[in-house]
């Protein structure tokens, strides 16, 4: 099964760097955009290793591209082997494992496809490649430029986010355009954040609710790529510009860029999830996370779902799981209404 590639950095951010940064950095951003457009135009058909036959046990394979653009590259670590000493490869291996552990422990999901799909990652992709992506069969990580962006294995939620795109592709197949595309991005942020929170044993109050914290170098005036708690506040930088995400439907961005604003408008459902999780307290994966996941895997969820359709289905699922008119359903209703989605 193949799916279109999903990249962590949105094209508008790389375009900004390409136009605003000094020539060296601008060139790297432009080169990354060319690579990304190539992958956005097609899906990969890599032959995967056999799936994990044991439920609860991942099968991980980490490769290096050695700064080339050949996938998957040279195998340097597989399931059960010791650390390589290459921090990027070992972070990728650990991140794949932490994501699988969340899928299995909390969602009862045996890998991306439910039947033990092998988890593959390629590191050191390209020359100073400034992105990471899921190409339908594996994760791919660039090393960053060292000036604005660190290595893309540095943040666990980046790994969780991209693997979540694989789950979304196997389940809802949300069309990557407009509001359904923004939901696609938002659900990947939700699951990526939950992977991080579960791994660090964080409650909703402990969590930073940042996506991609650590990715920016000290040169950048920013905390992360996105903030689920306060969309639009993650960064405000001379080169990168200001975080453009809205937190409410009144500020919804109408654009033809970025597949109709999929990385921008995802801030609205992100905020709704944050508000619901905070209202319910405890661990975000317990009630709010369960409702979002069950909604994602509901076969009735339309591929072209808009925010209102998804919101209504979360209310239905909250009622099924926790009882109609219960605190869970009310918290979720209030959260959607607070971001301007009327349910």
Please identify which of the residues 91, 162, 171, 328 carries the catalytic annotation: 162
Q: Residue 318 to residues 7, 67, 192: CA-CA distances in angstroms? A: 31, 47, 21
Closest CA to 200 of 254, 157, 237, 236: 157
| 143 Cβ contact list (under 8 Å, min separation 6) | 67, 88, 123, 124, 125, 128, 129, 151, 152
Among 157, 151, 156, CA closest to 216 = 151
Catalytic, 201? Answer no
List the catalytic residue out of 161, 171, 263, 328: 263
Q: Which long-range contacts (CB under 8 A, 24 or more apart) does 112-115 make?
A: 112/163, 112/166, 112/167, 112/170, 113/1, 113/51, 113/166, 113/170, 114/170, 115/51
Is-catalytic flag, 79? no
Catalytic site positions: 162, 263
């Amino acid at each position: 099964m193949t799916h279109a590639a999903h990249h962590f950095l949105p094209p508008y951010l790389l375009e900004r760097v390409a136009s605003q940064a000094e020539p060296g950095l601008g060139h790297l951003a432009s080169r990354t955009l060319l690579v990304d457009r190539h992958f956005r135009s097609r899906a990969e058909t890599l032959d995967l290793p056999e799936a994990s036959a044991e439920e609860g046990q991942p099968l991980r394979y980490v490769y290096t591209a050695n700064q080339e653009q050949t996938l998957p590259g040279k195998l340097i670590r597989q399931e059960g082997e010791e650390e390589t000493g290459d921090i990027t490869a070992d972070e990728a291996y650990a991140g794949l494992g932490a994501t699988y552990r969340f899928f299995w422990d909390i969602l009862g999901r045996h890998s991306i496809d439910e039947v033990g799909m092998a988890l593959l990652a390629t590191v050191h992709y390209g020359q100073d490649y400034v992105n990471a992506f899921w190409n339908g069969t594996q994760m791919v990580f660039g090393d960053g430029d060292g000036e604005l962006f660190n290595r893309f294995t540095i943040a666990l939620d980046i790994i969780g986010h991209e693997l979540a795109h694989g789950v979304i592709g196997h389940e809802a197949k949300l069309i990557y355009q407009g509001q359904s595309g923004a939901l696609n991005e938002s659900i990947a942020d939700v699951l990526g954040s939950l992977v991080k929170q579960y791994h660090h044993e964080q409650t909703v109050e402990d969590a930073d609710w940042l996506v991609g914290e650590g990715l920016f170098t000290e040169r950048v005036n920013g905390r992360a790529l996105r903030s689920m708690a306060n969309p639009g506040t993650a960064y405000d930088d001379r080169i990168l510009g200001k975080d453009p995400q809205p937190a409410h439907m009144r500020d919804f961005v109408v654009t033809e860029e970025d597949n109709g604003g999929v990385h921008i408008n995802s801030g609205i459902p992100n905020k709704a999830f944050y508000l619901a999780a905070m209202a319910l307290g405890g661990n975000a994966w317990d009630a709010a996370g369960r409702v979002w996941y069950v909604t994602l895997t509901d076969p009735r969820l339309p591929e072209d779902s808009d925010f209102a359709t998804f919101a209504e289905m979360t209310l239905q699922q909250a009622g099924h799981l926790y009882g109609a008119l219960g605190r869970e359903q009310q918290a979720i209703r209030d959260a959607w209404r607070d971001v301007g989605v009327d349910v």
